[in-house]
Amino acid sequence: MFLGKPTARAEVLIMLALLLMACERSETPAPSSYSPPGPVPKEAQRPGDPQKGYDALVNKAYLTCGVPYAAYKKNAPPPAVSERLPGRRGRNAELPYNRTFYVAPDGVELVVDNCLSCHAGTINGQRVVGLGNESLDFTGDLSFPVESVGALVENEQEAAAWKRWADIMRTIAPYMQTDTVGVNPAINLTFALIAHRDPETLAWSEQPLLEPPPVKPAPVSVPPWWRLAKKNALYYSTEGRGDQARTMMLGAILCADDLATLKAIDAYAPDIRAYFASIKPPAYPFPVDKALAERGQAVFETTCSVCHGTYGDAWTYPNQVVGLAEIGTDPVLATVSTNGQTDRFQRWFNQSFFGELARAAPAPGYIAPPLDGVWATAPFLHNGSVPTVATLLDSSQRPRYWTRSFDSSDYDPAALGWNYTALPHGKDGETDAGKRKLIYDTSLPGYSNQGHIFGDGLTHDERKAVLEYLKTL
């Protein structure tokens, strides 16, 4: 308490104290950091060893919760040759490519998921590490198979390990359920995990610490890892700025309950990033009309290269985020990241261990991706709403409702994408649940195939030539 009139210095101290008290009382959080559309600046990345990165990818457990090994062995046949990967050691060599062996600190042996469930796709009968898996089925309740494992667990230690995994999956499963087979709920899943983890300690809370995301996820097509060699930021709206290795670790919060777990992963995360950047896309396996491709290159470089770059030894890539008004594609994914709806999750990231080197700073638009290996990456647009490059280049030919088989050899080499069947109705017109979930219904929120009409102005012959050129990338 001051006696008499305070000095000028005291007045300043009082004002500062009142300001700090007001900030502590304020219920309005600081705004999130957004990025503008346009070029994404390059930022320094930690160096890594690609060979060590591949070894870590296929042998180390960056998720640390899952099925007790003894229970897994009761119900799982040995993996087929097509399910194995080179370079796996020990019990990992006995597991399919998307599972990893892990010994928990208390000695319980587990089989855990790894990144390759979503990031090792199959094209033309060949499994390709780094290709997005566009065949996963997230339309059901994923907690059911997790719960069924509990009946196979035999002792208390295993039961405790299973329960830890099952409790997490039971909590997040409602936020992972998509409308259509093939699209991915990864972003909504991440938000759900963030809502239940303390940003400083990573401790799991049964009750959400932040308001959870909407139950219905925005659908995402999984992009190939080899694009990382050219991209300055991660994800479709470039929210992954700064250190990419640190950002890519975010999936570890499915299981990581403490900072020590994350720091152990961070020690080899730059190696994994270096491996991703070293991956080369698979070469187009069918004949190419070289003369037609040369004509297509001229059309492409006039029409498409300003956003998608040029190719060859002297390649260029502009890292350009195209604003929503210009690109015109389904706005749901970009809008939810930049209209305040997900600010709380971005602040969590920026205040956490991840934010020490990286930051969430999305832009209101979508990055125009590099097109290396584009032939293998169907379906197209950020939500997988367009089945072929041919329909991407001519919006009048895009099916409103369509379905396809999930046979990786059911490929259309002329149109560059999946063979598909256009339907006269959407999901509401199908009573069979098994068939309904295979329908891509572009009338649903987040699933639209609108926009990207830059190829509409080309002639039929020009589009045909561009398609031929894209086969060579």
Confirm whether 153 is domain-assigned: no
- Of 53, 346, 375, 333, the C-alpha closest to 219 is 333
Taking a C-beta distance cutoff of 8 angstroms, is the pair 119, 130 a contact?
yes
Residue range 82-106: average pLDDT?
Answer: 95
- Of 150, 58, 63, 72, the C-alpha closest to 102 is 63
CA 309, 311, 314, 317: dihedral to nearest 10 degrees? Answer: 20
pLDDT above 90 (res 460): yes
Mean pLDDT, the chain, integer? 92
Confirm whether 162 is domain-assigned: no
Task: Please write the tens of the pLDDT for every residue from 216-243.
Answer: 999 999 999 999 999 999 999 999 999 9
> With bands split at pLDDT 50, 70 and 90, how would you rate the model's confidence at 33?
confident
Give the pLDDT confidence score for residue 148 in this predicted structure: 86
Task: Please write the tens of the pLDDT for every residue from 259-310.
Answer: 999 999 999 999 999 999 999 999 999 999 999 999 999 999 999 999 999 9
Confirm whether 329 is domain-assigned: yes
Give the pLDDT confidence score for residue 10 in this predicted structure: 39
In sequence order, which residues have a C-beta less than 8 Å from that of residue 162 and are 6 or more positions away?
67, 68, 71, 149, 150, 153
Confirm whether 447 is domain-assigned: yes
**What is the rounded CA–CA span in Å between residue 146 and residue 383?**
27
Give the pLDDT confidence score for residue 259 in this predicted structure: 97
> With bands split at pLDDT 50, 70 and 90, how would you rate the model's confidence at 32?
low
Distances (CA, A) of 196 to 22, 103, 115, 142: 28, 25, 21, 18
Confirm whether 377 is domain-assigned: yes
Confirm whether 231 is domain-assigned: yes
pLDDT above 70 (res 78): yes
Residue range 90-100: average pLDDT?
Answer: 96
Structural domain of 345: 38-63+114-140+177-470
Confirm whether 25 is domain-assigned: no
Confirm whether 171 is domain-assigned: no
- Element of type H or E holding 129: strand 126-129
Task: Please write the tens of the pLDDT for every residue from 200-219.
Answer: 999 999 999 999 999 999 99
Is 469 strand, coil or helix?
Answer: helix
Q: What is the pTM of this model?
A: 0.91
- Count of domains observed in the chain: 1
> With bands split at pLDDT 50, 70 and 90, how would you rate the model's confidence at 77?
confident
